[in-house]
Structure 1
Amino acid sequence: MRRAIDTLFGRLVVIVIGMLVLSHVAWFAIIRFERDNVQTRFAVEEAVFLVEAVRQHIAKAPDQPLPPRVRLVALNSPDVPKQPDEDTPPPLQRFVEDLKDRLPDGTEVRLNEPGGPPSVWVHGAKDDGWIVVPVQPLRPPRSRDRMLLWLALIFSTAVLAALFGAWQLQYPLRSLAQAVGRFGRGQPTPPVPERGPRELRQLTHGFNQMVREVSQTENDRAVMLAGVAHDLKTPLARLRLRAEMMDDEKLRDGVVRDVDSMAHIVDQFLVFAHDRPDGSEPVPVDEQCERIARAYRAVSPGAQPIRLKLEAGPAFALPAASLDRLLSNLLDNAHAYGAPPVVIETRREASGWVLMVSDHGKGIAPEDLIKASRPFVRLDPARGGSGHSGLGLAIVERLARRAGGECEIGNRAEGGLQVVMTFPFDIATRTLQERRAGSQHEERAL
């Protein structure tokens, strides 16, 4: 099961949102703390200014009336509030302490009783009474603040911008990963646009250059192989004609068998060199497997028995030519190196359609399995001279990948070789028109 966190985009999203949440929470706490400090400092400075203004007023113009809400109260007045106690809220305690620090030493500061207008009572060493001045109300932080709304708006905008940036960053890498997958499956790989950061552009440029060089090498090899194989067909035909005219029957049969073996090798070369998408009409795999098995028994009466276990149904379809070549090579390989019976199976799995061919022989040594599908590799030195070029399994793997599937070569637990080919549902059910349209699009992209 794929998880979003496993992708580069998913991890970038988690990192970006996590960092934005941490930064916004930190900024919110800092702003609220600094707002309280600024409010307290402003209230302290305002109170100090008013107290000093009242003192100047008393010293220079005692007969003039005081401003509204500013008054002088006798020391023994019953209206004088009590000393602040431990139940006083922390902001008010901090306000009183800061105000004492700003006033001369020995100044006594008290706050008005709750319920009345906010004011502060100040009595200095040289004051005849209490100076009462208004102060800014020190409101405690509210649970719902407009700041939260603004932070939520900024956070949402930042997240959207970060997600867009993360998507822009991972999109070129995702395109490159898809191209690497296509190239690894042997499918045509159009050049990947060189976008994104400099390092990613350099990586994409190197990949495109590698694909071009590998494609050119493959094309040169295919052209050379096809040219050699094609040129050999005419001499082989003349050689077979001359062999048929020999008088010695035993010698004639031996030469004809050798010519047929060489002709089979040449045909294998041509099939391996053919690198174009199959343009034949898709046919139901189960029906085609039955026809090929019947034809194989008719042509080779002494061949190994073939068992069919076809459970895919008519929805599983592949190009007729590719399917014929796949089964022919696998049946020839099982007949030459395996043991009866040979089993052809089809089924539907969660990953796609499965076509499997297995036999009951000795199989392939585990250390040689990785080399089994390499072209021109014979795992048994004794295998040669009988029309085998070491291309059978290589052709099977190439045909399976060219049809959009994957090929896995291994040994059965009970003994014998098995070749499992898996085809995705969307590829194994394409019509001929869809396949040709996709092939033409890939050729134009290349």
Structure 2
Amino acid sequence: MESPATRTEAGALRFLGWTAVLLGSWAVLLLLLQSLFGRQVDRLQVLRLGRELALQVRLTELTLERYPPSLIQDLTGLDLVVVDRPAVKTTPSAVQLEHQQVLANALCSRLKECPALLPADQRDPAVWIEVISPLEPVWLRAPLPRSHGWPPQPMLLGMAGVAAALTTAGLILAVEVERPLRRLERALSAVGDGQSADPGVVPAEGAPVVQRVSHRFNAMVKRLADNQRERNTMLAGIAHDLRAPLTRLRFRLSLQNLSETDSQGWDGDLDALERITDQFLLYAGGGSSEPLISCPLDQWLAEVVASYPRDSLQLDLSPITAEVRPVALGRAVSNLIDNAFSYGERPVVVRLRQQGADVRLELWDQGSGLSQDDWSKALQPFQRLDPARGQSGHCGLGLAIVNHVVQRHGGHLTIAHAQQRGPDAPGHFAVVIVLPGNTQTS
């Protein structure tokens, strides 16, 4: 577990990292806004300046009718010169010419006569505006807004700051909250579907609240894994310890002079006890240690059912290759066939089909089968729908074992009735094993 100092250091580094992201995004967005809207902002400023200069030009023209330009300049601070035509020292830039034209249009729209405009200086953007005077030619020097560049316009600075803050907030939500929560959601789905999850499978990353939830989830998964191991160990230990006394009991009974009826009764009880012991061992193991092997399912199924009577079991197999745990899945199929022989009606039909990306292994019999409610109960461990089943060595683990093995393969177990499958159904009721699509059709 991380120490408080380590968590503090990680939090400080994360804060510095997101601060750098904020500043970087602010700079990038500022350059983008400057390139897209800088000239439009400058144009708006020139238009606003045109409205102000139109008023100044009109007032100056009225004042020049009574007072000389020098007096007006002293009183108002306007930059007025008396000259026939101001000298243009440098060639104006394209941006200055554009601003000058925008300003000329603004002045023409507000004054009775369009004044003449001349560029003043390239280094200090300004323009000379001709003022109508009754005695002598007068020119008014007016500064122009600087072209878009550095420093940027305050409005663009603010817009870039707001956009950078929103962008960084979205990234923080995506990286610090949403992504860890999605990882936690997938882990919860895996645990909820019965798949095994190792302790610490969800990294404690992201926002502090998400880290706390991840720690709690990992602790819960660890407790579940410990409970599962303890249960499997207990079941395997009980089953293993029962084998030795059962063997000794069978040997001692064989030395007794019992009648044939008594001998058959004792043998039946011992067979039932051994069957229960085998089911305990299967449920405790479930094929968890067996590796996946790629094998042809049709040939493998033919070997699994070879010991059953041919007149009571039929095969309808398509050539399909898949990766399975053959021993564990073979025991699961045998359990289903034994259940069909014991509680259904013969003949039993084993059908293997490819459906889309999945493989369906169907075991049909001619009995009435189970309802959906009874099926849900039958999948639970130690559930016996018929109390008499326990007298023949059934402890309510058969379907639970099958379900456990199928889930270890990433598949699921379901049921089907003839009315659902239509006229091609080879029986009245079926238990269906659906395996995921890591298969190859031969």
Normalising by the residue count of structure 1, what TM-score does the alignment of the two structures yield?
A: 0.66
Describe the SS at the equivalent of 2:262: helix
1:258: Cα distance to partner? 1.0
Distance 1:309 1:343, change over 3 A: same
Give deviations 1:272-299, integer Å, cap 9, x for gaps. 01153314754321101112222222xx
Contact between 1:111 and 1:121, CA under 8 Å: does it hold in 2? Answer: no
Give deviations 1:397-435, integer Å, cap 9, x for gaps. 111111232222454437744222222233x57xxxxxx
The residue number in structure 2 matching 1:306 is 313
Instruction: Give, in whole Å, the separation in 2 of the partners of 1:277 and 1:130.
Output: 107
The residue number in structure 2 matching 1:111 is 113
Give deviations 1:170-205, integer Å, cap 9, x for gaps. 332332233223323433313211111233223322
Contact between 2:81 and 2:138, CA under 8 Å: does it hold in 1? Answer: no
Matches within 5 A, 1:233-382: 233-244=243-254, 245-274=256-285, 276-279=288-291, 281-297=293-309, 305-313=312-320, 315-382=321-388
The residue number in structure 2 matching 1:102 is none
Instruction: Give, in whole Å, the separation in 1 of the partners of 2:242 and 2:213.
Output: 43
Root-mean-square deviation over aligned CA pairs: 4.6
Give deviations 1:346-396, integer Å, cap 9, x for gaps. 222223222222222111122222222111001223322111111111101
1:227: Cα distance to partner? 1.4
Distance 1:58 1:252, change over 3 A: closer
Give deviations 1:320-344, integer Å, cap 9, x for gaps. 2122212111101111111122121
Contact between 1:358 and 1:417, CA under 8 Å: does it hold in 2? Answer: yes
Describe the SS at the equivalent of 1:374: coil
State the one-letter code of the partner of 1:307: Q
1:254: Cα distance to partner? 0.8
Instruction: Give, in whole Å, the separation in 1 of the partners of 2:382 and 2:72.
Output: 116
Distance 1:291 1:67, change over 3 A: same
Distance 1:45 1:257, change over 3 A: same
State the one-letter code of the partner of 1:294: A
Q: Which runs of 5+ in 2 are unaligned?
A: 1-25, 74-79, 87-100, 120-126, 146-152, 420-424
1:175 to 183, 188, 212: 183
1:261: Cα distance to partner? 0.8
Q: Which runs of 5+ in 1 are unaligned?
A: 1-19, 71-88, 100-108, 140-146, 430-446
Instruction: Give, in whole Å, the separation in 1 of the partners of 2:323 and 2:69.
Output: 106
Contact between 1:112 and 1:121, CA under 8 Å: does it hold in 2? Answer: no
Distance 1:420 1:384, change over 3 A: same
Instruction: Give, in whole Å, the separation in 1 of the partners of 2:292 and 2:135.
Output: 111
Describe the SS at the equivalent of 2:410: coil
Instruction: Give, in whole Å, the separation in 2 of the partners of 1:241 and 1:361.
Output: 39
1:30: Cα distance to partner? 8.9
Figure out how many residues of one structure are paired with residues of the other and give that number: 359
Instruction: Give, in whole Å, the separation in 2 of the partners of 1:61 and 1:187.
Output: 91
Instruction: Give, in whole Å, the separation in 1 of the partners of 2:339 and 2:324.
Output: 21
Contact between 2:351 and 2:361, CA under 8 Å: does it hold in 1? Answer: yes
Distance 1:170 1:68, change over 3 A: farther
- Segment drifting more, 326-335 vs 336-345: 336-345
- Segment drifting more, 218-227 vs 44-53: 44-53
Instruction: Give, in whole Å, the separation in 1 of the partners of 2:178 and 2:292.
Output: 38
The residue number in structure 2 matching 1:224 is 234
Instruction: Give, in whole Å, the separation in 1 of the partners of 2:43 and 2:291.
Output: 78
Runs of 4+ in 1 over 6 A off after TM superposition: 27-33, 89-94, 113-123, 129-132, 134-139, 158-161
Describe the SS at the equivalent of 2:197: coil
1:209 to 208, 214, 219: 219
Contact between 1:338 and 1:361, CA under 8 Å: does it hold in 2? Answer: yes
State the one-letter code of the partner of 1:66: V
Contact between 1:364 and 1:411, CA under 8 Å: does it hold in 2? Answer: no
Instruction: Give, in whole Å, the separation in 1 of the partners of 2:312 and 2:56.
Output: 110
Give deviations 1:35-83, integer Å, cap 9, x for gaps. 4442133334456666649846446599x9813548xxxxxxxxxxxxx
State the one-letter code of the partner of 2:113: L
Instruction: Give, in whole Å, the separation in 2 of the partners of 1:57 and 1:398.
Output: 105
Matches within 5 A, 1:17-96: 35-46=42-53, 52=60, 55=64, 57-58=68-69, 60=71, 66-69=82-85
Distance 1:38 1:279, change over 3 A: closer
Distance 1:424 1:114, change over 3 A: farther
Distance 1:282 1:58, change over 3 A: closer
Describe the SS at the equivalent of 2:329: helix
State the one-letter code of the partner of 2:216: G
Contact between 2:108 and 2:115, CA under 8 Å: does it hold in 1? Answer: no
Contact between 1:334 and 1:342, CA under 8 Å: does it hold in 2? Answer: yes
Normalising by the residue count of structure 2, what TM-score does the alignment of the two structures yield?
A: 0.66
